Amino acid sequence: DRLQEAVDETRSGRADMRVVLGDNSDERFDRLAGTFNQMLAQLEHDAREMQQLSRQILQAQEEERYRLARELHDEAAQSLTSLLVHIRLLERANNPAEAQHHVQELRELTARALEDVRRVALDLRPTILDDLGLAAALEWRVDEFNKGDGVRASVVVDGMDRRMPREAELVLYRVGQEALSNVSRHAGASEVIVTLRRDADLCVLQVSDNGVGFDPARTQPDTDHGLGLVGMRERVAMIGGDLEVTSQPGAGTRITARIPWQNGKGTNR
C-alpha cells in the first residue's frame, strides 16, 4: 500500500515523494522501495537541473533581445531620427545650394542607416552562411571582429572540402560568434585564433586566445560568461556534439566544439 501510494503521488507530479520503510517490512519490499526511492531522488535532481537550465536559457534569450534592442536604438533609430531632422531642414531650404547640401546629407544618412540595419540582420543570420558555408561565414565574422580595437583575430581552415547540414553549420557559427564575443568582453587578450578543421569523423571548431583566462569550475552559470558557455554547450549537445572549455587564470582560454561528421552527412552543395 505504501509503495502504491508513492507511485500514485509521483504520477500526480510529486517527485519529492518517498516510500517510508517500516520496521516489519520484508527484505524484498525494502530492496524494491529503496530502488524506487533512488529513482525518485534522481528524478527530483534532474527536474531541478532542468529548471535551472530553463532559467539560464531564458536569461540568455533576454540578454540577446536587450542587446538587439540597444543596437537598434543606439544606431538605426538615431540615424532615422537624423533623417527626419534633415528632411525638415530640406523643406525649409531658402535656395537651391542649401537644398542640395541637405540632399547630400540625406544620402549619407540613409546609407548609414541601411548599413546599421544590414549589420544587425547579419548578426542575427548571416546570408553568407547559407550561400557560401561555415568557413566563409567564420572568415567574415573574424573580419568584422578585426574592425574593433585591440584584439587581432585570424582563421585557419583545414579539410573542409564539403558542407555540413545547415543546422550543424549554424550551431558551429554561433559557437564561434559567442566565443569571439567572450574574448572581446572578458579575455583581455591581444590575439585570438579560430580554427575549423575536419578531424577523421569529426568537424572541430576551436577558438583560442592569449588572454587572462579563468577557472571554468568556479564560473557561475548566471554570469554573462557562464550564460555564454551554457548556451554553447546546449547548442552543440542538441546535434550530438560536445564542447570543451580549457582555461586557467593567466593562461588564456581554448573553446573546442566537436560534431560527428557522419551526423552532418556533408555535401558539396
- DSSP string covering 207-240: EEE-S----GGG--TTSHHHHHHHHHHHHHHHTT
Q: Is 93 exposed, middle or buried (0-12, 13-18, 19+ CB in 10 A)?
A: middle
Could you tell me the fold of the domain covering 127-264? Heat Shock Protein 90 (3.30.565)
Q: What is the mean pLDDT of residues 197-204?
A: 89
In 3-state terms, what secondary structure has residue 255?
strand
Distance in angstroms (rounded) separating the CA atoms of residues 212 and 247: 9
Among 22-36, 62-76, 203-217, name the most confident range.
Answer: 203-217
- Cβ contact 199:170 at 8 Å: no
What band does 117 get if pLDDT is binned at 50, 70 and 90? confident
Q: Which long-range contacts (CB under 8 A, 24 or more apart) does 105-114 make?
A: 109/79, 109/82, 109/83, 110/83, 112/79, 113/76, 113/79, 113/80, 113/83
pLDDT at residue 19 above 90? no
- Cβ contact 169:134 at 8 Å: yes
Distance in angstroms (rounded) separating the CA atoms of residues 56 and 220: 11
In 3-state terms, what secondary structure has residue 163?
strand
What angle in degrees, to the nearest 10, is found between the helix axes of 27-71 and 224-238?
110
Alpha helices (H) in the chain, listed in sequence order: 2-11, 27-71, 78-91, 96-124, 127-132, 134-145, 166-182, 224-238, 261-264
**Model pTM score:** 0.62
What cell does 192 get?
585570438
User: In the prediction, which pLDDT does 67 show?
Assistant: 72
**Chain segment 120-138, per-residue pLDDT in tens:** 777 777 788 888 999 999 9
**Chain segment 71-114, per-residue pLDDT in tens:** 777 777 788 888 888 898 888 888 988 899 889 888 888 888 88
**Chain segment 52-68, per-residue pLDDT in tens:** 777 766 776 777 777 77
Phi-psi region of 189 (alpha: psi -120 to 50; beta: other; left: phi over 0): beta
